[in-house]
Structures are given as structure tokens and as C-alpha cells.
Amino acid sequence: MSDHRQPPVDYIDRTLAQYEALGYPAYSWATNPGTPPWADVAEPLERSRLGVIATGGIYRVGQTAFTHHDDTTFRAIATDTATSDLRATHFAYDLTDAHRDINVVFPIDPLRSLADDGAIGELAPSFFTCMGGIYSQRRVRDELAPALVQRCHDDHIDLVLLVPV
């Protein structure tokens, strides 16, 4: 039996090459001083409200697609939205698989199944999506992140699953 595993993706090299090909200046990776504080989970998953923040550029039919340069907006997608009404746009990854099955970058169907089975207490009323690969760390820190945190608080979300691409 042969081993068909692929080698790991060197994400940093791939991202640097992608930005260079797009004509952007060299990407400066964000670093955080020290160790982030650990937050204990207050309730087990089966009694928690789960939210999602995904960076794959997912939007619902009728919403405006993301732009490709420093778009720090986000979309709220109701968790009862039909999967067939979801779309993806992004400059930094191959969209072929996402167009075939949106769950590869926005796992809404598996999470609905887990909630239906009782493994998750409930899903938040909306999941949040944004464009990954935002060049301006300042705008992510000062605009996007606080807006997403506020929406998570407003929706009384206990846990958030981060889905990066």
C-alpha cells in the first residue's frame, strides 16, 4: 500500500510568492508580543452556542462580493441559509474546490449536522465571513476585529470556530 499523503504546504513561502505575483510589497507578518491569555471554556460544546468566523471570502446570493484589496468588511450569513445560495471570491487561493463544495472553506453543513445530533448546543443565528489576506494589519486590528468581536458579543456566542484559508 503506497503512501498518498501530500507534503505540508509552506504557507509563508506560498503567501510571499502570491503577493509578489500580484505586485504587492513584501508581506509583513503580524506578530504578537508574549503569549496570548488562555480562556477556559465555560460550558461544554453540547451546551454552547457556536459561531464561525471564516476568511474564505464567502457571501450569500444577494450580498455584495468581497473586493480583493484590503477589504475589511464582513458578511453575516444566517445559519439556515441554503448551501446552494453561498458563493466564494478570493484572490489568494484556488476557488475550484470551494465552488464545488462551499463546506471546504465554510463548514456550515457539517456544523448543522453536529447541532442536529446534539454535539453542539446550538449554532449562532449568523456566521461571519471576511476576506483573508488583508494587507493592512492596522485595519484588521482597528476595524475588522473589533466589529467581529462586537457581533459575537451581541449574538451571545460562547465559542467561535475560526476557519482560515
Q: Which has the higher per-residue pLDDT, 129 or 27?
A: 129
Enter the C-alpha cell of residue 164: 482560515
- What is the overall mean pLDDT for the chain? 90
Enter the C-alpha cell of residue 1: 500500500
Q: Which has the higher per-residue pLDDT, 79 or 37?
A: 79
Which amino acid, 50?
A: L
Secondary structure (3-state) at 123: strand
Residue boundaries of the structural domains of the chain: 45-163
Q: What is the pLDDT of residue 3?
A: 64
Which amino acid, 5?
A: R
Question: Helix/strand/coil (H, E, C) string of 24-86?
Answer: CCCCCCCCCCCCCCCCCCCCCHHHCEEEEEECECEEECCCCCCCCCCCCCEEEEECCCCHHHE
- Say yes or no to pLDDT of 105 above 90: yes
DSSP codes, 128-152: EEEBS--S-HHHIIIIIHHHHHHHH
- Say yes or no to pLDDT of 32 above 80: no
The residue assigned the cell 473586493 is 67
